[in-house]
Amino acid sequence: MAIHDVTLTISRELPVFPGDPEFRMHALTSMDRGDEWNNHELVMGTHTGTHIDAPLHFFINGRSVDRLDPAVLVGPVLVMDVRGTRRITDRVLNALEPDARAERILFLSDNTARGVLHRNPVQDDYVALDKSAAEWLVRHRCRLAGIDAFSIAPEDDQSDVHTVLLEAEMVIIEGLDLAGIGPGMYWLAALPLKIEGADGAPARVFLMDSEDIYHGS
């Protein structure tokens, strides 16, 4: 079974969403300086690189990332091909007629081919969902949604999409590196750092191929 790492590498060169802190790594001890071991301090935001949004991101009493249901973070996932559209709407989703059983959906958009996750500074012309698409996902009882951009919502309207999805306690994965990934069914493992009380966290995310992967998990 092939395993695909769809996680961005966190480095000083990694673009960050406007307003988020840049990643920094500072050596506390270094063997190059004669210390007995290497040890570093990391500085970054909770939404750095490939990351997961928890309901607390937009709701003051929402669930934090350490309280997310692990059963949502692992299981069958549909990679949906939305390339060729500038905005993902309910009409786009209806036209694609995805499997109604798909509880986890990742959106493969033109963001991947355009390299938007590697453009610094981050531009505001990335493909995202609108409110109608978010409402469509909730109606279809989707439990997890992800996208190949640093935000699942348009840059000029972050609240509507996030509010609809997170109010339904849907898990959001942003910053997915889907280069080389085709549409279809996979097995997902999305593993955020377990940070107490955090509104989100960087995550390591894998997709795994399988001959017969979907059995209603």
- Classify residue 46 by burial, with Cβ atoms within 10 Å: 0-12, 13-18, 19+: buried
217 vs 138: which has the higher pLDDT: 138
Q: How confident is the model at residue 211 (pLDDT cuts 50, 70, 90)?
A: low
pLDDT in tens, 9-46: 999 999 999 899 999 999 999 999 999 999 999 999 99
Per-residue pLDDT, 197: 98
Per-residue pLDDT, 100: 62
CB contact at 8 A, 2 and 209: yes
Q: How confident is the model at residue 213 (pLDDT cuts 50, 70, 90)?
A: low
* DSSP output for the chain: --EEE-BPPPSTT----TTSPPPEEEEEE-GGGT-SS-EEEEE--TT-SSEEE-GGGT-TTSPPGGGS-HHHHEEEEEEEE-TT-SEE-HHHHHHH---TT--EEEEE-HHHHHTGGG-SSPPS---EE-HHHHHHHHHTT--EEEESSS-SS-TT-HHHHHHHHHHTT-EEEE-B--TTPPSEEEEEEEEE---TT-SEEEEEEEEE--SS--S--
Q: How confident is the model at residue 214 (pLDDT cuts 50, 70, 90)?
A: very low
Q: Which residue has the tokens 């607390």?
A: 56
Tell me: pLDDT of 217 over 70: no
Q: Where are the domains of the chain?
A: 3-12+45-208
pLDDT in tens, 155-209: 999 999 999 999 999 999 999 999 999 999 999 999 999 999 999 999 999 999 9
Mean pLDDT of 120-138: 95
pLDDT in tens, 75-124: 999 999 999 999 999 999 999 977 767 899 999 999 999 999 999 999 89
69/55 Cα distance (integer angstroms) = 12
159/134 Cα distance (integer angstroms) = 11
Per-residue pLDDT, 67: 98
Per-residue pLDDT, 215: 47
43: left (phi over 0), alpha (psi -120 to 50) or beta: beta
Question: Would you please indicate which residues are annotated as catalytic (active-site) residues?
Answer: 57
Q: Which CATH number describes the domain made up of 3-12+45-208?
A: 3.50.30.50
Q: How confident is the model at residue 1 (pLDDT cuts 50, 70, 90)?
A: confident
